[in-house]
Amino acid sequence: MELDIVSENRKTVLIVDDEKPIVDILEYNLKKEGYNTLIANDGLEAVNIALEKRPNIILLDIMLPKMDGLAVCKKVRTALNIPIIMLTAKEEEIDKILGLELGADDYVTKPFSVRELIARIKANLRKYEISQELINDNEQKDNDRKIIIGDLQLDLDKFEVKVRGKKVDLTVREFEVLRYLANQPGQVVSREALLEKVWGYEYFGDIRTVDVTVRRIREKIENDTTDPKILVTKRGIGYYIAKPE
């Protein structure tokens, strides 16, 4: 009975999966860890619940009836800037990459360890909470902290990015990647270091997550993504923010 107690102080996880055994296992373990849970068994229901209940994080299966997880991710991301972890039974890289392209923050491949998944949930929530705390703590400040490197301007207090004076909308994770690199312009940062410092845990060599996030950022800040001038690749090593000449 204790696991069924709902607390307003607890974080809420929306579990989106049409496989009841998986839903039951996740719901039990998440409640045991102190989370509230919401359940959706198809894509349309997931979108409706997400927009109405506004959970703190979403566990989103890709293969769903009525609307697949990739479409759900795209719809939810246009309205809510909360962490989304994709769950996929497929091994194909394209599914994982597509999920990240559409705005997912992370993914886990079935079958997965519940302990690992909960660690991922905690890490994504922690990163999001830190970002929101910084916004709330600094929104009343008169002197904004900014990083200005050539055409790129980051307002660290407002979590805003401008390129050539035009505001660019980034997700929290995209902003964190850009901020980490902009704090050390000209210095190449490896993909592994970005995974550790920005995502908060190791992916054990799964560096494509960084590549996809960088690709999304470039689509928003570069005039020509095939010849980036701001967020530059050091082939075989990682990425860096170019210093103005």
Supply the mean pLDDT for the chain: 84
pLDDT above 90 (res 103):
no
Final residue before a domain boundary, out of 76, 102, 132: 132
Which CATH number is 159's domain given?
1.10.10.10
Query: Is 192 contained in some domain?
Result: yes
pLDDT above 50 (res 222):
yes
Is the separation of the CB atoms in 51 and 79 below 8 Å?
yes
43 lies in the same domain as 106: yes
| Tens-digit pLDDT profile for residues 154-190 | 988 778 899 998 999 888 788 889 999 999 999 999 9
12 lies in the same domain as 116: yes
Final residue before a domain boundary, out of 97, 132, 167: 132
- Cα dihedral across residues 219, 222, 223, 226: positive or negative: negative
6 lies in the same domain as 121: yes
What residue numbers bound the domain in which 12 lies?
2-132
Domain count, the chain: 2
The pLDDT, as a whole number, for residue 31 is 94
| Tens-digit pLDDT profile for residues 35-53 | 999 999 999 999 999 999 9
Query: Is 183 contained in some domain?
Result: yes
Final residue before a domain boundary, out of 110, 132, 154: 132
The pLDDT, as a whole number, for residue 2 is 39
108 lies in the same domain as 216: no
123 lies in the same domain as 9: yes
pLDDT above 60 (res 127):
yes
93 lies in the same domain as 181: no
Which CATH number is 125's domain given?
3.40.50.2300
127 lies in the same domain as 163: no
10 lies in the same domain as 124: yes
How many C-alpha atoms does 28 have within 13 Å on its Cβ side? 7
86 lies in the same domain as 151: no
Q: Distance (Å, rounded) from C-alpha 41 to C-alpha 61?
A: 10
CA dihedral 107, 109, 112, 116 (to 10 degrees): -30
227 lies in the same domain as 183: yes
Query: Is 137 contained in some domain?
Result: no
6 lies in the same domain as 127: yes
pLDDT band at 4 (very low <50, low <70, confident <90, very high): very low
User: Quick one: which of 193, 174, 195, 171 has its CA closest to 184?
Assistant: 193
